[in-house]
Amino acid sequence: MTRTEHVEIEGTPLVATLVPGNGIGLLALHGSNEGGTAELARTVADRCGATSLVFTQPGVRRPVHIPSPRMAVAHCALLREFLERVALTVSLHGHMRPEAPHTVYLGGGNRDAAHVLAEALAAGIPQFPAVTDLTEIPAALRGVHSRNPVNLTRLGGVQVELPLLARTSGEANTPPGAVVDALTAGVRGLSSA
């Protein structure tokens, strides 16, 4: 059931890969830029039976970062399908804030879902404190823009901004097992909420 689509956004060629599942969607818009996010999206979705959509720039040495609100549905049929299929999105991103090397920021429009994820992350990876208060999240990481795909599903979603240590474990882009487990527990919590 895995499907791929070659798209071009702002002159940048990308490959979108959709794996259909249930009504929770794991999204990695910057799978080549933000190491570990593509792997996390695929693994957590697989464990939870969720839908995943991952964008990559295969074979590109220096991937281009296109801001999330500009990853518009007009560019990609699989993104449109993803947004129609899922009710709630968990969009995985990476940050490199030197002042917050262990902090996970939980933005996006669905604040209740952000709190559900925060509880699961606090239980599973307390070494990576989760911040849900939008006023304490750097403006560029809040994920509240109305055109950001995380906010375009029926129930909106949560933009999960992970520091490098929470998304890679030294072996290429392999996320730490504890992070995978905690995020999986959070997504399962969203499914039952």
pLDDT one digit per residue (tens) for the chain, 193 residues = 899 999 999 999 999 999 999 999 999 999 999 999 999 999 999 999 999 999 999 988 899 999 999 987 777 999 999 999 999 999 999 999 999 999 999 999 999 999 999 999 999 999 999 999 999 999 999 999 999 999 999 999 999 999 999 999 876 778 999 999 999 999 999 987 6
Taking residue 122's Cβ as centre, other Cβ atoms within 10 Å add up to 15
| C-beta separation of 87 from 23 below 8 A | yes
Q: How far apart are CA 173 and CA 163, in angstroms?
A: 13
Say what the pTM is. 0.96
Q: Domain of residue 155: give its range.
A: 3-192
| C-beta separation of 166 from 176 below 8 A | yes
Predicted local confidence at residue 173, as pLDDT: 77
Identify how many contiguous H helices and E strands the chain contains and give both numbers. Answer: 5, 8
| C-beta separation of 27 from 53 below 8 A | yes
Predicted local confidence at residue 171, as pLDDT: 65
Amino acid of residue 62: R
| C-beta separation of 79 from 27 below 8 A | no
Predicted local confidence at residue 193, as pLDDT: 67
CATH number at residue 107: 3.40.630.100
| Side-chain half-sphere exposure of 80, counting CA atoms within 13 A | 7
Residue environment code for 54-81, b if the CB has 16+ CB neighbours within 10 A, otherwise e: bbbbeeeeebeebebeebbbebbebbeb
Q: How far apart are CA 97 and CA 31, in angstroms?
A: 18
- Report the number of distinct structural domains present in the chain: 1
Q: Sheet of 88-95: strands edge to edge?
A: 3-9, 12-19, 51-56, 24-28, 88-95, 157-163, 104-107, 130-131
